[in-house]
Amino acid sequence: GAVVSQHPSRVICKSGTSVKIECRSLDFQATTMFWYRQFPKQSLMLMATSNEGSKATYEQGVEKDKFLINHASLTLSTLTVTSAHPEDSSFYICSARLDLRAFFGQGTRLTVV
């Protein structure tokens, strides 16, 4: 099956700093990747669609200057949470599309202190 690797799995950072999360498709090329945010006991909320070689498309209400997305190659997309604050603490998950199917990374637990 298709494998998507997300790194780091956990990160703690100080308020005001930036954090970069990587999402890699290990055994396939993904033109399109997606970034989600998930709060405890809740569903996945789509933040943005990341397309290789072009600007990401953000969902309504998601600050593009806050959550920087770069999809520099067909196997790597990165999400940078800039000037992180405690309210940015959450579980961030990426997925990569292969044909119709979307395969997910293992998620990143971000804690901002």
Please give the residue ranges that form the binding site for other proteins (CB under 8 A): 1, 4, 6, 32, 34, 41-46, 49, 51, 57, 93, 95, 97, 100-107, 109
Nearer to other proteins, 49 or 82 (CB): 49
CB of 77 to other proteins, least distance (A): 13
Nearer to other proteins, 15 or 29 (CB): 29
Which tokens hold the place of 4?
Answer: 């998507």
- Cβ distance 79 to 20 under 8 Å? yes
CB of 58 to other proteins, least distance (A): 12
> Buried b / exposed e across 38-67, counting CB within 10 Å, b at 16+?
eeeeeeeeebbbbbbeeebebeeebeeeeb
CB of 30 to other proteins, least distance (A): 10
Is the CB of 55 or the CB of 109 nearer to other proteins?
A: 109
Q: Which two tokens stand for residue 17?
A: 């700093």
**Least distance from other proteins to the Cβ atom of residue 11, Å:** 14
Give the separation between CA 53 and CA 107, rounded to whole angstroms. Answer: 24
Nearer to other proteins, 32 or 89 (CB): 32
Cis peptide, bond prior to residue 86, ω within 30 of zero: no
